[in-house]
Amino acid sequence: MTERNQRQRRPAPGLIFFLATSGLTLILWLVHPAAVVRAVPFFVSLLGRIWPVLIFVFGLLFLSNLFLSPQLVKRWLGHASRKRGWLIAIAGGILSSGPIYLWYPLLRELKEHGMRTALAAAFLYNRSVKPALLPLLIYYFGWGLTLILTVYTVAFSIIQGLIVERAAGSVTSPHVRA
Amino acid sequence: MRMALKKTGKALLQALPILASVLMLISLAVANIPKAWYARLFTGTVFDPVIGAAIGSIAAGNPLTSYIIGGELLRRGVSLLAVIAFLLAWVTVGVIQYPAEAMYLGRRFAVTRNLTAFVLAIAVAALTVLTMHIAGIVPRVAP
């Protein structure tokens, strides 16, 4: 049997994860049904809230598949991008909305096209700066804390990016391939 | 065009079970962990920032929820350092999302990113509190 056939016979990790989570939920439902019943309305409301972001992210994925070449990604987000790459990753992270996990497919696609690992990590770290929620953060904790925390978060996203890149290299996961 | 559509459709199909799993785990965690439970875990010792970052790492949901819980923790006497570590870890560390992150971006990437985000949550919190202290800024607690 060829390696390709073996790979095709192996179930997808995403499917295994789904089956494991479903199994866990089923066991919880058998042991403590109220815990699962309580989670259902939240699941439905979460599903209702994320679909616009899901469409947006996969729209971007489609556009990147259509227009982005590895050369272009390398120039804008690769090692040669320098300050420009960092600015794009930081601004992208701050401006991106929706749950973090919706952005993984797009980041993987960009990484496969040549995006620096450090910039992917910086993008994810900067998602903690939420412009829409800044007034609320100021309301709860004051402008001083908000300002200092925001500046440090952006600055440390670069440090984190460099650490992650040094540790993880620029190899993309072989588990989920488009 | 057809190639790009096919590739995106395939990526979406692969993403759906992963997204559904993460949504299930988040729903179970958020619906079953009462907000008051968080305050009980703090000890009032030097370990509170680590406890704050650990709780923030496991918790999931909208960052707005973390602000509300953070404000409540401050009112209950939990240190500002621990609360900031909690707020930062809430948005930068994702224990529940880890399997999805590892599948898409690689296990080493996900492990390093989450571990460094955990350590940085405490470090950035300490630096923020220190800077506020030096600048003479008094933390505000919402009424």
pLDDT in tens, A117-161: 999 999 999 999 988 888 888 988 999 999 999 999 999 999 999
Q: Nearest residue on chain A to B10, judged by CA atoms?
A: A178
> Are the Cβ atoms of B11 and A25 closer than 8 angstroms?
no
Nearest CA distance, B45 vs chain A (angstrom): 22
CB B56 within 8 A of CB B90: yes
- The stretch A50-72 carries a mean pLDDT of 85
The pLDDT value given to residue A174: 44
ipTM: 0.88
- What are the Cα distances from residue A117, in Å, to A67, A94, A113? 21, 18, 11
The mean pLDDT value of chain A amounts to 87
Tokens matching residue A31: 């042991």
pLDDT band at A178 (very low <50, low <70, confident <90, very high): very low
Distance, CA of A44 to CA of B102 (rounded, Å): 25
| Average pLDDT of the segment spanning A105-115 | 91
Distance in angstroms (rounded) separating the CA atoms of residues A98 and A53: 6
- Cβ within 8 Å, pair A35-B28: yes
Query: Which chain A positions have a beta carbon within 8 Å of B133's beta carbon?
Result: none
Cβ <8 Å between A38 and B32: yes
Chain B residues 113-142 within an 8 A CB cutoff of chain A: 113, 116-117, 120, 123-124, 127-128, 131-132, 135, 137-142
CB-based contact A76:A88 (threshold 8 Å): yes
Nearest residue to A101 via CA among A122, A124, A134:
A124
Q: Is A178 on the interface with B (CB under 8 A)?
A: yes
Residue B132, pLDDT score: 95
**Do A44 and A55 form a contact (C-beta atoms < 8 A)?**
no
pLDDT tops 90 at residue A75: no
Ranges of chain B with pLDDT below 50: none
Cβ separation of B31 and A156 shorter than 8 Å? no
Cross-chain Cβ contact A21/B24 below 8 Å:
yes
pTM over 0.80: yes
Measured between CB atoms, does A104 come within 8 Å of chain B? yes
Q: In the prediction, which pLDDT does A105 show?
A: 92
Of A24-33, A99-108, A150-159, B79-88, least confident by mean pLDDT is: A99-108
Restricting to B residues 37-96, those with a Cβ less than 8 Å away from any Cβ of A are 63-64, 67-68, 70-71, 74, 80, 84, 87-88, 91-92, 94
Interface contact flag, B27 A40, Cβ < 8 Å: yes
Please give the average per-residue pLDDT across A8-19, as a whole number.
78
- Whole-number Å distance between alpha carbons of A133 and A150: 12
What's the pLDDT score for residue A117? 95
pLDDT given for residue B143 in this prediction: 63
Q: Is the pLDDT of residue A20 over 90?
A: yes
Record: contact B100-A12, CB cut-off 8 A: no
